[in-house]
Amino acid sequence: MPELYEELGLKKEEYDEIVRILGREPNNVELGMYSVMWSEHCSYKSSKTELKKLPTEGPAIIVGPGENAGVVDIGDGLAVVFKMESHNHPSAVEPFQGAATGVGGIVRDIFTMGARPIACLDPLRFGSLKEPRMRYLFEGVVAGIASYGNCIGVPTVGGDLYFEEAYQENPLVNVMCVGIMPKERLIRGRASVPGSVGVLIGSSTGRDGIGGVSVLASQEFDEKSAQKRPSVQVADPFTEKLEIEACLEMLEKNLLLGLQDLGGAGLTCATCETADRGNCGMDVDISRVPLREPDMDPVEIMMSESQERMFAICMPENLNEVLSICKRWGLNAVPVARVTEGDTLRVLKDGKVVAEVPASSLAKGPEYNRPAKRPGYLDEVNSFDFSTLPEPSDPGQVLKELISCPNICSRKWVYEQYDHMVQINTVFYPGCDAALLRVKGTRKALALSCDCNGRYCYLDPYVGTQIALAESARNVACSGAKPMAITNCLNFGSPEKPEIFWQFKEAVRGLADGCAILGTPVVGGNVSFYNESFGEAIYPTPIVGMLGVLDEIEKRVPSGFQREGEIIALLGVTKNELGGSEYLKVVHGVVAGPPPEIDWDAEIALIDFLTSAAKEGVISSAHDLSEGGLGVALAEASVFTGVGASIKLYHHLPPHVYLFSESQGRALVSFPPEKEGDFAELAERCGVLFKIVGKTGGSVIEVKELFSIPLEELSRLYYTSLARILQGEE
């Protein structure tokens, strides 16, 4: 028979450390509290050492990692709050509720800091849609995101979506949320004044999600773990909408000292983390907690992950007004805790102490230096001989295959289910290089992008992570905005496997080096380990969420060609780089080779050019080159607006390489003929290499001497392929 601590996900050495801290054996309530707080999901015990290497400070950074979300100063007395998190494992069990509660959780992280949530983005990863179960998971996740976001009135404005066999048993559901606030409304999740009161606000507490962070989110799936999966939390977006309004009203009236949401580890996490951040202790009376189910044990109450609950700290003299505001918004609100001096978290039920532990020991948790070993598969995949592959006889047919493949075709089927216009801030809709949101009351706009190609990271996690960072920055810059800061969600397999942990260390190293060069600090994020099933791990998937700021919204640059008769230029250098490309996978069924190289000097020069060109009004459109290379970027820039294009290839590379190479640091832009001199002068000033490749106009996409495809045909393939794949069509 396994010990109780093993059933709860704790190791023998961790249990021994708990005994040492307490000076005695823990009781079942205390053991349950440690099991959730010392889980990988809450304690970051395997990742803390590596995450310390990330740059987290900058002149615009107000709050970095360690709080519920990061905060960036954007001027005009305003601050942007943003963060990304995962709900991978719950979504694999119950896709609708798993995705919905993922949205709810990240939205709470934003208004917990004092900001009004204004947008969500959803990076998603799934296996092949040829499998009925994967179609069920995909459709359920999209429906869950749509239902929750639409109900609370927060638009879903972007994200990214990939389909790879590596995610077949373990899909990824990451969600990023962004909010905005006056800087003076900033509040932290701290209980720092002894005698102050902790108020539990929102939904009642049930048995849903008990042990979710220690069993579901901190273990890989196999037949044994599948038998003890806890129930997935159930979403109630209407309660969350009321919580947003009630909490923001209380903050406007300066009634709160601290605010924390109840997510993973529930009441245990909210109480010990606020106490630890404020260097205080806390007495928690769980007899007062409103329960959804009768006869709940103290350990169930402390571990429950029931959603839509908030924990507010206020002075006793403000308690009645806090309760009155909550009542007016139709919310349960009950004082359940009192902040104390010292470091002790005491849990009481009916006047009896049922748990008594140091709050700091729960909140900080252990810290490991895991062994790391370079995976053996890398030698094989990076030694692939590309010369053995035949050149395509019809590059036009290849373009049609790429434009309709799952990783490139339009995500219209997804984003049409989302309300991306609510709050009327959205300027660039989903499908553009970056989402663009106006900042009301100013001339500013926020540009947002989420990016990561897990295939690149599988082939080289250091370079692949830097590509994710560079692409997110390019996407933001293509809109005209300056990249400012990032959040992230680092999705990996089991950190207890040296090969997986090596991937993680290399990814963090790549992100740290890239962010330092680019000047985009990391203000927070999430690590999701144990993304593997039956011994098979996902591709390493470190998703980067980039925030950019555009000072003058009138200077924004769209992704698609705007009018006929304009000049098309390719910025950057195209190299013979097909490793990890979509061309290689779609045409030859191969995932191999080194990913494209990163040249940070060229990336920074390109970003400088794109932002300067927007400010000076030099270009009419800008579109980042990523999956599918020049051929796909050309087709997309045309189908976005219905403006055709004709280009000629001036290059020593074979046509299929020039068209479908995924070399980094490139963008496709258009500009009026009268701006050609200004364009060339700016490119020289910024140090950007470019080539004039053609002109916009007509009703076809033409690559001279190679192919001409009706724009109508490409548009149909691009916009209808995902729906046809979901319907089981090839």
Look at the block and give the residue holding tokens 């500013």: 444
Residue 198 has pLDDT above 90, yes or no: yes
DSSP code of residue 567: E
In the predicted model, what is the mean pLDDT of residues 122-148?
Answer: 95
pLDDT of residue 233: 78
pLDDT of residue 226: 46
Instruction: Evaluate whether residue 592 is within a structural domain.
Output: yes
In the predicted model, what is the mean pLDDT of residues 707-729?
Answer: 94
pLDDT of residue 195: 97
Residue 708 has pLDDT above 90, yes or no: yes
Residue 231 has pLDDT above 70, yes or no: no
Whether 274 contacts 311, CB under 8 Å? yes
> Domain boundary residue among 314, 335, 350?
350
The region that residue 223 occupies, defined by phi over 0 for left and psi between -120 and 50 for alpha, beta otherwise, is alpha
- Give me the sheet containing 707-710, strands edge to edge: 621-624, 667-671, 567-571, 690-696, 645-647, 700-703, 707-710
603 and 699 co-located in one domain: yes
Instruction: Evaluate whether residue 342 is within a structural domain.
Output: yes
Residue 505 has pLDDT above 70, yes or no: yes
Mean pLDDT of the chain: 94
233 and 346 co-located in one domain: yes
Non-local (6+) Cβ contacts of 627 within 8 A are 407, 408, 453, 581, 582, 662
> Domain boundary residue among 292, 319, 350?
350
**131 three-state secondary structure:** coil
As a whole-number percent, the residues of the chain with pLDDT over 70 amount to: 97
Pairing of strands 309-314, 352-358: unpaired
- 308-351 pLDDT, tens digit per residue, is 999 999 999 999 999 999 999 999 999 999 999 999 999 999 99
- 184-197 pLDDT, tens digit per residue, is 999 999 999 999 99
617 and 711 co-located in one domain: yes
623 and 726 co-located in one domain: yes
Question: What's the residue count for the chain?
Answer: 730
* Rounded to 5°, angle at Cα 591 from 587 and 597: 105
As a whole-number percent, the residues of the chain with pLDDT over 90 amount to: 88
Non-local (6+) Cβ contacts of 357 within 8 A are 21, 22, 26, 30, 33, 34, 344, 345
205 and 268 co-located in one domain: yes
Whether 461 contacts 507, CB under 8 Å? yes
> How confident is residue 228, by pLDDT bands cut at 50, 70 and 90?
very low
For the chain, the straight-line distance linking the first and the last C-alpha, in angstroms and rounded, comes to: 50
262 and 406 co-located in one domain: no
Q: 104-108, 129-133, 277-281: lowest mean pLDDT where? A: 129-133
Helix pair angle (461-478, 600-616), 10° resolution: 10
Q: Which two tokens stand for residue 366?
A: 């252990």
Q: Where are the alpha helices (DSSP H) in 87-131?
A: 88-93, 95-111
In the predicted model, what is the mean pLDDT of residues 685-693?
Answer: 97
407 and 286 co-located in one domain: no
pLDDT of residue 425: 85
Work out the widest C-alpha separation in the chain, in whole angstroms.
85
Residue in 448, 245, 256 with CA at minimum distance from that of residue 329: 245
603 and 725 co-located in one domain: yes
pLDDT of residue 212: 56
Instruction: Evaluate whether residue 267 is within a structural domain.
Output: yes
Instruction: Evaluate whether residue 633 is within a structural domain.
Output: yes
Domain count, the chain: 3
Residue 451 has pLDDT above 90, yes or no: yes
Strands (E), 114-196: 116-121, 124-126, 156-158, 161-163, 172-182
608 and 692 co-located in one domain: yes
Residue 532 has pLDDT above 90, yes or no: yes
pLDDT of residue 180: 97
> How confident is residue 403, by pLDDT bands cut at 50, 70 and 90?
very high
pLDDT of residue 288: 97
Whether 465 contacts 507, CB under 8 Å? yes
In the predicted model, what is the mean pLDDT of residues 510-521?
Answer: 98
In the predicted model, what is the mean pLDDT of residues 94-117?
Answer: 95
**446 three-state secondary structure:** strand
**361 three-state secondary structure:** helix
> How confident is residue 419, by pLDDT bands cut at 50, 70 and 90?
confident
Helix pair angle (600-616, 498-518), 10° resolution: 40
Instruction: Evaluate whether residue 265 is within a structural domain.
Output: yes
pLDDT of residue 1: 62
Residue 160 has pLDDT above 60, yes or no: yes
Active-site positions read 41, 87
> How confident is residue 230, by pLDDT bands cut at 50, 70 and 90?
low
Whether 302 contacts 213, CB under 8 Å? no
310 and 413 co-located in one domain: no
321 and 408 co-located in one domain: no
Whether 622 contacts 668, CB under 8 Å? yes
Instruction: Evaluate whether residue 49 is within a structural domain.
Output: no
679 and 566 co-located in one domain: yes
Instruction: Evaluate whether residue 713 is within a structural domain.
Output: yes
Sign, CA dihedral 632-637-640-642, equals negative
Q: Tell me the residue range of the domain where 12 lies.
A: 1-29
Residue 408's CATH number: 3.90.650.10
Instruction: Evaluate whether residue 606 is within a structural domain.
Output: yes
